Structure 1
């Protein structure tokens, strides 16, 4: 963060100094919402949540080195008192970003793949200048400004992930840090019930390209019709990526190795270079292409882009983490989140990685799918039962549609051919899933763990790996 005295922070946030706060005391960062992350020079933002009230930790934050607390009510500590701490956080990040004209903001959005693409792109931009990017999925009204506030005078690239749970959300985030380059990955079924349809999702995602200036660049997926249609919603120049021959940056000759990792030729207007990804699943190709297209617009040579993509390892946890146990059991931990599209991608990765080995899957009912929830979850069940599994375990509540779809395929009803015998079971919780799996797993088996974040299925993967991945 750029150094700011408390008087300036109070001015930006329309706040009032309290608790004997020194107006000349300088906050040098980081700005944090978790008192355990406080460092000397920090600003602690006290947010009242549903279970924890940050104001209760104000005194401890100061004791640990925070300069002051940004609070919405008086606390027993030096503070800047504001009407709304989250709104004040937004105002502070907006002001700081405006004072960093040398930093180019790159925004990434889409229904799936945002975090992986952000991670790849941040690796690429780091080759040409100091880069700030969120850890994991800091992509909402709190995580986004916290990431922006990590930038300082040396920052040249801010690679930001923008999430939407309704109309206007991406526009709001884009006002905090106005993007120069906007990357739109896809329009899928994530949060379908919140938006009401894919067209509404497309409208919300397209707010990113609408925020671009005329001298900016919209990096759009040529293979997704709803993304391609966003070209008419921006004054910025368009760069297309994808597998279509019309794409400016495209992948040619995609193949998968025995571990499900893709290789391809990266083709650009200035040349081509081979890429051998270390990321798992063919869907990683689209994420790599999106990052490559943005990096190409920034002037990176195609050979450099290909080199960085080929060396990139997964950075954000619980996203296609593949770990081999000593007994040869392979665990695929893709439990960070799930929607129908990412479920298809995960089972595709399982198929490529498992080959002729026995396959198991632990999944949970998908959420936020609205009126189509039952039908889409039934489709997930059909997908799973058709994946050649030895065993399918569905964890937690609302499992009936998945189970019905799986059993329909396993029984050969509904027009599908009968699948190989699959053990299909509903288990109450993570502990039950672990117990059931432990009785069946043998050396060499492969287990896919995939579900919505709220299901906590990462604990299944961690238990299978003896408490954590190695």
Structure 2
């Protein structure tokens, strides 16, 4: 974080500064990182005591002080020696502090902010953008999936006076949440990747999802840029809702940043990248799955707007082997067995893309095994969407389907009701049962996909399978 005095922070968060028994004064400067987990605190850092669903950050404030916290932001005074700023809402104070830091860094005139949203692909695109932009300037981007009202401001607070690019991943589970993040850090470039059924149950339907994602671009100014997916019929109309210049990316002819000659293999996806300038280059993109090409195109579009030369864009894209842990992560290798662990998250769109990739990359005569768990947060659409994925597995001729967990069981039922399979779909209740089954049934040369929402916990099953066949 940029250096701010305790008094300046108190004003920014509209809180009451209490110095307690410390030797600090209102003019004491703080420039450490900001945390909501006391275990991450190091000397000079700030700890925000955030009440949580299962616990209360105030219970861990003493640990933060022991670790060297220079300041506590709390909702009630604590009997501790460190300086404290007492606020009415710790999460709100976190956002207010982030907005203050962003405004001060922006005042230097160098900072460019890129906001990224979409139902799928945010984290991959964020990581790709970081890889490209780090080649040309000091870049801050979120760790893991820091994209909500807590994670996004924590990333913003990593800014320093030298930062040139901030990539802000902005997720939401309801209308108004992206708008709230944008008030902290209005993007110069707003990216909308895709609108799908991820979190549709929380949003209240696809129309509400569209409204929420459109918040990324509706308040952009004329000098800003909206980077939109030309191939998504729910994203394309957002062009009529923004004052910003629109840059289209996609596979179709209406995109100005596009890919041609797309070819999917087990080593990745090759394509020819075309920029709006007319320049083009071949790319060997090693992140597995044709669907990730769209994330690469969005990255290229943003990078071109920011003046990154095409050769640097291509070199950065080709340097990335893994988008993020548990996202199309290739593991295994023993006896020719390939394990693809893509169980960090799942929606109908990403599940479809992963199954299509599995079917595309298996070599001739090689078996494909799909180990699938629940797609969460689909609300009333959950039943029919799980049915649809089960039928898709049949139609893609996946050799063996293993469905894990009661919430995903309809996938298994829909496949056996199709009537064309005899024992090619199996159901187990737990990941442990799935591991036992797969340890005995996976054959040399098989390609195994593990895919589910985070809550189903299959990402750890994927890790165990990767170790088993390594």
Q: TM-score range by the shorter chain?
A: over 0.9
Q: Deviations 1:348-383 (Å, cap 9, x if unpaired)?
A: 111122223222222112222222221111101112
Paired residue for 1:117? 125
Once the two structures are overlaid, the 10-residue window that deviates more, 40-49 or 84-93, is 40-49
Paired residue for 2:435? 434
Residue 198 of structure 1 deviates from its aligned partner by 2.1
Question: Do the aligned partners of 1:331 and 1:449 also contact (CA within 8 Å) in 2?
Answer: yes
Question: Do the aligned partners of 2:35 and 2:48 also contact (CA within 8 Å) in 1?
Answer: yes
Question: Do the aligned partners of 2:118 and 2:195 also contact (CA within 8 Å) in 1?
Answer: yes
Question: Do the aligned partners of 2:287 and 2:323 also contact (CA within 8 Å) in 1?
Answer: no
Paired residue for 2:74? 71
Q: Matches of 1:342 and 1:16 in 2, distance apart?
A: 46
Q: Matches of 1:430 and 1:381 in 2, distance apart?
A: 19
Partner-residue secondary structure (3-state), 1:360: strand
Once the two structures are overlaid, the 10-residue window that deviates more, 12-21 or 329-338, is 12-21
Q: Matches of 1:450 and 1:383 in 2, distance apart?
A: 14
RMSD (Å) for aligned C-alpha atoms: 1.6
Question: Do the aligned partners of 1:322 and 1:330 also contact (CA within 8 Å) in 2?
Answer: yes
Question: Do the aligned partners of 1:122 and 1:159 also contact (CA within 8 Å) in 2?
Answer: yes
Which of 331, 334, 351 does residue 323 from structure 1 map onto? 331
Once the two structures are overlaid, the 10-residue window that deviates more, 3-12 or 145-154, is 3-12
User: Tell me, which stretches of 5 or more residues in structure 2 are unaligned?
Assistant: none
Q: Matches of 1:231 and 1:277 in 2, distance apart?
A: 29
Partner-residue secondary structure (3-state), 2:187: coil
Alpha carbons of 1:326 and 1:404: their partners in 2 closer, same or farther (altered >3 Å)?
A: closer
Partner-residue secondary structure (3-state), 2:407: coil
Q: Deviations 1:209-266 (Å, cap 9, x if unpaired)?
A: 012111000011111111110001110001111112221111111112243x111111
Residue 95 of structure 1 deviates from its aligned partner by 0.5
Residue 5 of structure 1 deviates from its aligned partner by 1.8
1:97 counterpart = 2:102: yes
Summarize the alignment of residues 258-337 of structure 1 with structure 2, pairs less than 5 Å apart: 258-259=266-267, 261-270=268-277, 271-337=279-345
Q: Matches of 1:176 and 1:116 in 2, distance apart?
A: 23
Paired residue for 1:396? 405
Question: Do the aligned partners of 1:38 and 1:44 also contact (CA within 8 Å) in 2?
Answer: yes
Partner-residue secondary structure (3-state), 2:10: helix
Paired residue for 1:8? 8
Question: Do the aligned partners of 2:300 and 2:313 also contact (CA within 8 Å) in 1?
Answer: yes
Partner-residue secondary structure (3-state), 1:175: helix
Paired residue for 1:56? 59
Paired residue for 1:171? 179
Q: Deviations 1:80-100 (Å, cap 9, x if unpaired)?
A: 111111010010001100001
Summarize the alignment of residues 208-287 of structure 1 with structure 2, pairs less than 5 Å apart: 208-259=216-267, 261-270=268-277, 271-287=279-295
Partner-residue secondary structure (3-state), 1:338: coil
Partner-residue secondary structure (3-state), 1:331: strand
Runs of 4+ that moved beyond 4 A: none
Q: Matches of 2:350 and 2:248 in 1, distance apart?
A: 22
Q: Matches of 1:423 and 1:266 in 2, distance apart?
A: 39
Q: TM-score, normalised by structure 1?
A: 0.94
Residue 8 of structure 1 deviates from its aligned partner by 1.4
1:377 counterpart = 2:386: yes
Q: Matches of 2:423 and 2:238 in 1, distance apart?
A: 43
Paired residue for 1:387? 396
Q: Matches of 2:187 and 2:221 in 1, distance apart?
A: 8
Question: Do the aligned partners of 1:389 and 1:422 also contact (CA within 8 Å) in 2?
Answer: no
Residue 315 of structure 1 deviates from its aligned partner by 4.2
Q: Matches of 2:227 and 2:42 in 1, distance apart?
A: 38
Residue 429 of structure 1 deviates from its aligned partner by 1.4
Question: Do the aligned partners of 2:376 and 2:455 also contact (CA within 8 Å) in 1?
Answer: no
1:108 counterpart = 2:113: no
Residue 327 of structure 1 deviates from its aligned partner by 3.1
1:408 counterpart = 2:408: no
Q: Matches of 2:29 and 2:360 in 1, distance apart?
A: 54
Residue 385 of structure 1 deviates from its aligned partner by 3.1
Question: Do the aligned partners of 2:224 and 2:245 also contact (CA within 8 Å) in 1?
Answer: yes
Q: Deviations 1:309-341 (Å, cap 9, x if unpaired)?
A: 112222421111011333322110101110100
Residue 302 of structure 1 deviates from its aligned partner by 1.8
Question: Do the aligned partners of 2:339 and 2:447 also contact (CA within 8 Å) in 1?
Answer: yes
1:149 counterpart = 2:154: no
Question: Do the aligned partners of 1:399 and 1:426 also contact (CA within 8 Å) in 2?
Answer: no
Q: Matches of 1:465 and 1:310 in 2, distance apart?
A: 24
1:462 counterpart = 2:463: yes
Paired residue for 1:40? 43
Question: Do the aligned partners of 1:388 and 1:422 also contact (CA within 8 Å) in 2?
Answer: no
User: Tell me, which stretches of 5 or more residues in structure 1 are unaligned?
Assistant: 412-417
Q: Matches of 2:338 and 2:348 in 1, distance apart?
A: 23
Paired residue for 1:414? none
Q: Matches of 1:131 and 1:76 in 2, distance apart?
A: 39
Partner-residue secondary structure (3-state), 2:105: coil
Partner-residue secondary structure (3-state), 1:327: helix
Q: TM-score, normalised by structure 2?
A: 0.94
Q: Matches of 1:7 and 1:258 in 2, distance apart?
A: 56
